[in-house]
């Protein structure tokens, strides 16, 4: 799959935005790979769901954004994550508010 090739070819990415729309449950193992590589990860979902929020956090996501995205919110989260040192965890930075994990 193209996503697996991208993960293999770019092991040191600065940030990953993963839209889970249309993916099967194997997407979570890819999120875990990103987390294991110390890549900050934001999950984008088509709906608010406690199950999706839990899976996102369990597999290393630093935030969960629900569509439609608010660009100012997305920009703020990206800047915040890119300013963090590699290897941070702060319980996945806990970007918790109603629309984030």
Residue 92 inside a domain? The answer is no
pLDDT > 70: percent of the chain: 80
Residue 99 inside a domain? The answer is no
Mean pLDDT for the chain?
Answer: 82
Chain position carrying tokens 């930075």: 93
Q: DSSP readout, 53-81?
A: HHHHHHTT-SEEEESSP-HHHHHHHHHHH
pLDDT in tens, 60-97: 999 999 999 999 989 988 999 898 654 444 444 444 33
pLDDT for position 13: 82
CATH number of the domain where residue 79 is located: 3.40.50.2300
Q: Taking the model in full, what pTM does it have? A: 0.74
Tell me whether residue 21 is exposed, middle or buried, using C-beta atoms within 10 angstroms of its C-beta: 0 to 12, 13 to 18, 19 or more: exposed
Residue 100 inside a domain? The answer is no
pLDDT in tens, 15-42: 999 999 988 899 999 999 889 888 899 9
Residue 88 inside a domain? The answer is no
Residue 52 inside a domain? The answer is yes
Cα–Cα distance measured from residue 25 to residue 34, given in angstroms and rounded to the nearest whole number? 15
Q: Which structural domain, as residue segments, surrounds residue 70?
A: 2-83
Residue 14 inside a domain? The answer is yes
Q: Does residue 12 surpass a pLDDT of 90?
A: no
3-state secondary structure of 45: strand
Residue 94 inside a domain? The answer is no
Residue 95 inside a domain? The answer is no
> How many domains does the structure of the chain reveal?
1
3-state secondary structure of 88: coil
Strand partners, 41: 16
DSSP 8-state symbol, 18? E
């Amino acid at each position: 799959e193209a996503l697996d090739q991208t993960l293999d070819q770019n092991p040191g990415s600065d940030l990953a935005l993963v839209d889970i729309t249309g993916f099967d449950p194997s997407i979570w193992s890819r999120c875990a790979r990103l987390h294991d590589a110390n890549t900050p990860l934001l999950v984008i979902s088509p709906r608010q769901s406690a199950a999706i929020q839990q899976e996102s956090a369990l597999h290393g996501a630093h935030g969960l954004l629900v569509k439609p995205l608010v660009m100012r919110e997305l920009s703020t989260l990206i800047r915040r994550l890119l300013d963090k040192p590699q290897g941070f965890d702060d319980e996945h930075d806990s970007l918790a508010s109603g629309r984030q994990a």
